[in-house]
Amino acid sequence: MKVCIAEKPSVARDIAEIIGAKQRKDGYYEGNGYQVTWTFGHFCTLKEPHDYTEQWKFWRLEDLPMIPSSFGIKLIENDGVQRQFKIIEQLVQQCEEVINCGDAGQEGELIQRWVLLKAQCTAPVKRLWISSLTEEAIREGFQKLKDAAQYNNLYAAGSARAIGDWLLGMNATRLFTKKFAMGKTVLSIGRVQTPTLAMIVQRQKEINAFVSEEYWELKTIYRETEFTATIDRIKVLDRAQKGLAYLKEHPFEITSFERKEGKEGNPRLFDLTALQVEANKKYAYSADDTLKYVQNLYEKKLVTYPRVDTTYLSEDLHPKIEGILKDLTPYAALTAPLLAQPIPKLKTVFDDKKVTDHHAIIPTGIYPSGINLEEKRIYDLIARRFIAAFYPECKIANTTVLGKVGQVEFKATGKQILEPGWKEVYANDVAPKKEGEEEEKILPVFTAGESGPHTPRIHQGKTTPPKAFTEATLLRAMETAGKQVDDEEMRELLKDNGIGRPSTRANIIETLFRRKYIEKRKKNIYATQTGIDLIDTIQTELLKSPELTGIWERKLRQIEKGEYAMETFKQELIQMVIDLTIEVKTANYKVITVTQEQPPAPEEKEKPKKESKPKEPKKAVVIAEHACPKCKDHPLKKGNTAYGCANFKVCGFKVPFEIFGKKLTDKQIADLLTKGKTGKMKGWKLPGTEGEIEGKLVLSPAFELVVEK
């Protein structure tokens, strides 16, 4: 008997139907020499610290770093998982061969390998590797089953990723929480999550620090065309007015007229990140939602495997393209021109060197029935992008006109679409745009040397701050390790160094939302004060650098290709965790208050100690009368948890109502602001230290709060 293990019950049902295992049993299907069973996602996980030793159950600095001699796995604590696993265990221990039918990707490989490892499988293992769940693809896959050993490097990369995330996440989270956090707050650190948050915080600080400035530009209208002066923006209104007076004294003269014809290349086929970006731009769908919708389409056999990071197809797919286009009957009007001639084998579409385990996301050709609105929209994006890839390029004409008024030079540019080409696919829709792409603007024909009257004016504007991240721009930043890249070829080259994998980026963003490190206002993503405080706490650049995280990602991809040893990667991470622990343990203490409490970490139980209560002042002290001691330009304001500078977003100064386990009275806060310190008090609880101490709360020259004995 051959045992097939799928990743979901629905996939198992489809496979069983196709290979003839039609008899339903408890937890599997049977027939025709096959037993088809299933997992439902992750059944196993790496063991937790307390599974290795009781000592690691408690969060103590002296126990760090936690480095297991070898990493083990365990079943997830879930009754359904435990029950289904027992069925799988019995089947694989009695069979002659196992066929791994998990999702054909790194995560799918890891899920199934861990299950087989836990079940102590000794039977030979084959691998079903397919890019879609259509009947044709499954039949073809079973005719070409691979030896499981061909995917050992993929499994090694998945294991290395999981171990790396465990080593850094478990150790760094406990390390920073015990060293820097107050009370029951947890400072969550992750290999991908922290550099992603660092990018958002950096952008937030740039926005907060931005000071808008007014400027003026000289413009004029000649022959119903607006021209803009090419001189630098004018910072003083008086100068602009003098410039306007000068323009009124001279006619407008054309000095150059240039019209160049060119082409706009077709949009690339979708990888997962590009699809998430487009769905966020067009429908404001989150990355996580888009992944769910496209995964549903894949399981309904409507599109190919979605968790991919390539925009190319393998060359052997070229003969199948015509059939897929013919089957896209809802788009018959768009596919008809393509089917009237042979499908071109375009280098921008077909390239075996750019395809690894899977190709770009494309429709399978099955008619899209029985899907909801969100899935229809995602399907439509994929189908139109697929059709547009085979259309002719869009032909355009770019026009540049130069002129002058006296000695002041002017410029106008325009763009005209000569042949829409692939843009016809989006005739009743909005065609996907590249960054900075101009709208179509047709200019009249000018002749160098012509001259005439014009209507000059002053345009007043304001400089604008950097744009906040949206999920679309954040995904792109993660893909390119924080580099601003608009060119698609260059973006393709940087993918090996991106932060995270296409399949995990959505989950990383959702994790940051869940932990309240970031928040969404309309489509924009902002760092919360909690997120800013966390990144400010982390002085180790390694933990928050997108570039360095990208280097780890490249090594994981090299492991996948057999170009780097998993054990080497693991030892490098172990050494990094050891070095990080030493560095943070011995670091000079710096106070960072986290403004929102996270779920509590497991702690040793201690008896509560009595706290000395300072006497309340007889007279109320009005803190708001005090100026901010840091910027000295703004008053202090009372918030929900602290007094802070009225210009807090730029200045950043605040004094919490409660710090180091003690509530401060208005009198103590006033002393801190006027004298730079409070009186001596007992009961301070400093992070990273045992027990309570006596001392004064002091405002340091760097405007940080410290306790001096």
Active site residues: 305
Question: What DSSP state is assigned to residue 385?
Answer: H
CB of 173 closer than 8 Å to CB of 180: no
Who contacts 65 (Cβ-Cβ below 8 Å, separation ≥6)?
171, 175, 577, 578, 580, 581
Which stretch of DSSP H or E encloses residue 200? Answer: helix 193-209
- Quickly list H helices, 210-310: 237-247, 272-283, 287-299
Residue with tokens 């973006």: 491
Question: By three-state DSSP, how is residue 138 classified?
Answer: helix
Helices (H) and strands (E) in the chain, counts: 22, 27
Q: How far is CA 104 from the centre of its chain?
A: 22
Residue with tokens 């006296």: 406
Q: How far apart are CA 216 and CA 226, in angstroms?
A: 16
Distance linking the first and last C-alpha atoms of the chain: 75
Tokens found for residue 258: 């240039």
Closest listed residue to residue 474, CA positions, set 288, 233, 677, 668: 288
Task: Give bridge partners of residue 270 from the DSSP assignment.
Answer: 361
Q: How far apart are CA 709 and CA 705, in angstroms?
A: 13
Q: How far apart are CA 403 and CA 60, in angstroms?
A: 72
Q: How far apart are CA 363 and CA 236, in angstroms?
A: 57
Residue with tokens 């549903």: 296
Who contacts 527 (Cβ-Cβ below 8 Å, separation ≥6)?
197, 200, 201, 203, 204, 517, 518, 535
Q: How far apart are CA 354 and CA 352, in angstroms?
A: 5
CB of 494 closer than 8 Å to CB of 485: yes
Q: How far apart are CA 508 and CA 230, in angstroms?
A: 44
Q: List the 636-638 sheet strands across, edge first.
A: 636-638, 642-645, 654-656
CB of 414 closer than 8 Å to CB of 443: yes
Main-chain phi, psi angles of 286, to 5 degrees: -70, 160
Count of other CB atoms within 10 angstroms of residue 123? 17
Q: How far is CA 141 from the centre of its chain?
A: 33
Q: How far apart are CA 613 and CA 343, in angstroms?
A: 82
Which stretch of DSSP H or E encloses residue 46? Answer: strand 44-46
Main-chain phi, psi angles of 232, to 5 degrees: -60, 155
Q: List the 214-222 sheet strands across, edge first.
A: 451-452, 252-264, 394-405, 408-419, 225-229, 214-222, 455-462
Who contacts 369 (Cβ-Cβ below 8 Å, separation ≥6)?
none
Q: How far is CA 293 from the centre of its chain?
A: 18
CB of 341 closer than 8 Å to CB of 385: no
The DSSP code sequence of 478-518 is HHTTT-----HHHHHHHGGGSSS-HHHHHHHHHHHHHTTSE
The β-bridge relationship of strands 693-699 and 2-6 is unpaired
Distances in whole angstroms, Cα of residue 608 to Cα of each of 683, 691, 692? 12, 11, 11
Distances in whole angstroms, Cα of residue 181 to Cα of each of 62, 200, 520? 16, 21, 25
Q: How far apart are CA 538 and CA 647, in angstroms?
A: 24
